[in-house]
Amino acid sequence: MIKSYKSQTTSGNHASIQEYNNSNFHEDLQKQDSKNTLLPSNHYVQTLKPYIPTSHKVWEQPHKEKILKLDWNESTLPPSPLVTQALQEYLNTGVLQWYPDTKNTELYTLLAQYVGVDSDQIEVFGGSDCAHEYILQVFLDTNTKVLIVSPTYDNFRARAQGIGINTYFFPLSSDFSLNFEALNEAIINYTPQMVYVCNPNNPTGTAYCSTQLQNLIQAHPYTIFLIDEAYYEFCGQTLSHLTTTYKNLIITRTFSKAFGLASFRVGYCISHAQNIALINKLRNPKSLSAFAQIAATYALKDEQYMWAYVEEIKNAREWFNTQLDDLDIKTYPSSANFILISHIEDLYRLLEQHQIFIRDYRHIIPNHFRITIGTRTQMEKVIEVLRGGGQ
C-alpha cells in the first residue's frame, strides 16, 4: 500500500521510517488490457508512482492577464527589465544557429560572487530538478538508499525511484518540525547513502536549524546530504559556506522563484570542487539554452530588483497570514514564498472560480492546500474573495 504523507508524521520523539511501496500501482498496471501493454522499459519506471504536477487548468484559460497564478511558487511579477532587454538584443544580434555557450564565464563569475564560493564549486543546469537527476545518477547506484525528510517536494522521490534507488521517508512531527535527534538515529540505523532535506521545506514552509544540520553533516561524513535551497532568498539561511569544508554536502538552488525565471528553467548546485568535477563527467555541457544563460546573467546583474521583490513578498506573507487567522483558516509558519493551509475543498473551488489558482496538496497531506505569496495588492485580491467580496 502506498503510504500517505499523513501517516508518516509523528508527534513523539521516535520516528517510524517508511519505505515507499508502490505495489498497488504495479498491480493496477498488470491488470491493463494486453493491447495496452507497455514496451520493454526500465522496470522501475513501469512501476513508478509519478510526481503529480499542479493542475493544467491555468494554461487552458484564454485570458492569462486576468489570472492570479499562486499554485507553483513562481514569481508573481516578471523578471528584471534588464533580462528582457538583453534577450531582445540577442534575438536581433545573437548567433541563434550556434549551440549555447558550454562554459559561460560571465555567468559563472556572477553566480560565484552571488553565492560566495569559487566558480569551480558551482554548476548550472536546466532547473534544479535537472541538477537532482544528475546528482542521483553520479553519486548513487541502483538499490542504494536515500532517506527523504517528508512530507516534502515529491519530484525528487519520483526521480530516485525511477532509477532503482530504495527510497525511505523520515517523517516530520505533527507540527512539521524536524526532530534532529531522531533523524540522527535513523541515519545510524538505516545507513542511507544520501539524505534529502528541503530547507525551507516545501510545502510546509518550515526552516530547519542550520547548526543542527551542520552537526548531522559533520557526524556522518560518508552520507551525502543534499540540501534543496530553492527558497533560500525568502529565508536568508544557507549552508553554502560549508561546501568547501564538507565534501558530503551538495546544495541546489533555482532561478524560478525569487528571480522570476521559471519559464527559462535555470538551476544550479553548490558543492566541493571535486564533486562538481564528478558531476561534469556526466553533465551535458550544452543543455542550458543561450536564452536561459542570458536571462540568468542579467537577473544577477540586477540583484537589487530581486531583493526588492523578496522584501515585498515577505511583508505580504506576514500580512496575508494575519488575514487568514482572522478568517479562522489554519496556517503554518513559513520562511518561503508560500503558506500551507488546512481547509476544506470549497476554498480551493471558490478561488478557482475567480481565476485564482492555488496548489492542491491533498494527495500528500489530506485537507491541505498551498498558496504562493504574491505582492500585497495581489494577496488583497485573494482575501477579498475569501471574505465574499470578489463577485
pLDDT for 87 equals 98
pLDDT value of position 14:
47
Phi/psi at 85 (nearest 5 deg)? -60, -45
Which top CATH class is 57-76+304-387?
A: alpha beta
Residue 103 pLDDT > 70: yes
Could you report the per-residue pLDDT of 61-102, keeping only the tens digit for each?
A: 888 889 999 999 999 999 999 999 999 999 999 899 999 999
Q: In the sheet that 368-372 helps form, which strands lie side by side, from edge to edge?
A: 68-70, 356-360, 368-372, 338-342, 330-331
Does 10 score more than 50 pLDDT?
no
The per-residue pLDDT for range 146-161, each reduced to its tens digit, is 999 999 999 999 999 9
Query: Where, residue-wise, is CATH 3.90.1150.10 in the chain?
Result: 57-76+304-387
The answer to whether residues 390 and 381 touch, using CB atoms and an 8 Å cutoff, is yes
Higher pLDDT, 92 or 32: 92
Orientation angle between helical segments 303-326 and 376-386, nearest 10 degrees: 20
Who's near 257: CB < 8 A, 6+ residues apart?
73, 74, 75, 230, 231, 233, 234, 337
Task: Collect all residues with Cβ–Cβ distance below 8 Å to 343 and sequence separation of at least 6.
Answer: 329, 330, 367, 368, 369
- Condensed to tens digits (0 to 9), the pLDDT of residues 207-233 reads 999 999 999 999 999 999 999 999 999
For residue 22, name the pLDDT band (cuts at 50, 70, 90): low
- pLDDT score of 24: 57
pLDDT at 179: 98
Q: Which amino acid is at 35?
A: K
From CA 96, how far away is CA 290, in angstroms rounded? 8
pLDDT, greater one: 382 or 15: 382
CA distances from 343 to 50, 54, 202, 361 (A): 25, 18, 18, 11
SS3 248: coil
How do beta strands 356-360 and 249-254 pair? unpaired
Extract the C-alpha cell encoding 130.
535537472
Give per-residue burial for 113-130: e unless 16+ CB within 10 Å, then b.
ebbebebebbbbbbbbbb
Range list for CATH 3.40.640.10 in the chain: 81-301
User: Which pLDDT tens digit goes with each residue over 233-271?
Assistant: 999 999 999 999 999 999 999 999 999 999 999 999 999
CATH class assigned to 81-301: alpha beta
Flag the least confident range among 47-51, 71-75, 188-192, 301-305: 47-51
Residue 53 corresponds to which cell in the numbers above? 504536477
Instruction: Tell me the average pLDDT across 131-138.
Output: 98
- pLDDT greater than 60 at residue 121: yes
Distances (CA, A) of 389 to 49, 347, 350, 382: 40, 14, 12, 10
